[in-house]
Amino acid sequence: MRRPALTATIVMLALCLQACASLQPRTRVLVFTKTAGWRHDSIPAAVAALQRLGAQEDMQVDHSEDAATLDPGVLKRYQAIVFANTTLDVLDESQQAAMEGFIRAGGGFMGIHAAADTEYDWRWYGQLVGAWFSSHPPGLQSTRVVFEHDGVATGIAWTVTDEIYNYRSNPRPQVSVTATVREADYAGGTMGEDHPVAWCHGFDGGRAWYTGLGHQPALYADPVFESQLRRGLRYASGIDEDC
């Protein structure tokens, strides 16, 4: 007589555990958008897009502009941190140390556009991103983005209008380039025939992914750019080994 009741209890417990598990995102990501220089009006669109994509990937995507969030006790809750259009000096030394510890413990980093225009006096950060911003032509540029895999062009191209950065150095020797732009399509490029605009790499125990695109708010509703951001989220958070 007791067995049906026991069976029912086990079934209810299993259903409860299943329901509780479904409420727990498998991955948690922090989007950080503090600025100390130019303030991009695309930041709200970036945050919204990352949260939308994160929800589709069963991720919890939190947002903060408070540098105090970069504390070891807080960062241990996350698998990845995104610098979305941050600018200039946004972290103090203790926060920089927390960031370094997070990556060395296997955490992931994702940088969008002006993340390369951040923390110029912090050499480790420049290596994490892959390259620092140097300049950009005035206004917006229209160019073809050519996608790569393992250093080889895939034959897939996408025309985009955005602010195209020139970088202080070509990151290709240190990273896996995933996309380049054609300087022949616009005026003001300074990097020549090989102008990377997106890349990834393993770094100091963790992972880093970066795209130089993301100046224009409208770009965050573009399906191709959304796909690129999705890949960045999955790689930085450790879901995918290949970016």
Look at residue 172 in the predicted model and tell me its pLDDT. 96
Look at residue 1 in the predicted model and tell me its pLDDT. 44
User: What does the alpha-carbon distance between residue 241 and residue 222 come to, in Å, rounded to a whole number?
Assistant: 25
Entry pTM: 0.89
Residue given tokens 């610098």 in the structure block: 83
User: pLDDT for 136-189, tens place per residue?
Assistant: 999 999 999 999 988 788 888 899 999 999 999 999 999 999 999 999 999 999
What average pLDDT does the segment 196-201 reach? 97
* pLDDT over 70 (residue 46): yes
What average pLDDT does the segment 14-24 reach? 47
What average pLDDT does the segment 74-83 reach? 96
* pLDDT over 60 (residue 16): no
* pLDDT over 50 (residue 11): no
User: pLDDT for 217-227, tens place per residue?
Assistant: 999 999 999 99
Lowest mean pLDDT among 8-12, 144-148, 159-163, 211-215: 8-12
- Single out the residue of 49, 59, 117, 47 nearest to residue 86, CA to CA: 117
Name the CATH superfamily, with its identifier, for domain 25-133+196-236: Class I glutamine amidotransferase (GATase) domain (3.40.50.880)
* Bridge pairing between strands 133-135 and 166-167: antiparallel
What average pLDDT does the segment 181-210 reach? 96
* pLDDT over 60 (residue 15): no
- Single out the residue of 205, 200, 204, 203 nearest to residue 234, CA to CA: 200
Q: What angle do CA 161, 148, 83 make, to 5 degrees?
A: 60
What average pLDDT does the segment 75-91 reach? 96
- Single out the residue of 242, 211, 235, 239 nearest to residue 225, CA to CA: 211
* pLDDT over 50 (residue 236): yes
Look at residue 26 in the predicted model and tell me its pLDDT. 78
Domain assignments of the chain as residue spans, ordered by start: 25-133+196-236
User: pLDDT for 100-120, tens place per residue?
Assistant: 999 999 999 999 999 999 999
Look at residue 24 in the predicted model and tell me its pLDDT. 54
The neighbouring-strand residues paired with 82 are 31, 110
Query: Is pLDDT larger for residue 17 or for residue 166?
Result: 166
Of all residues in the chain, the percent with pLDDT exceeding 90 is 84
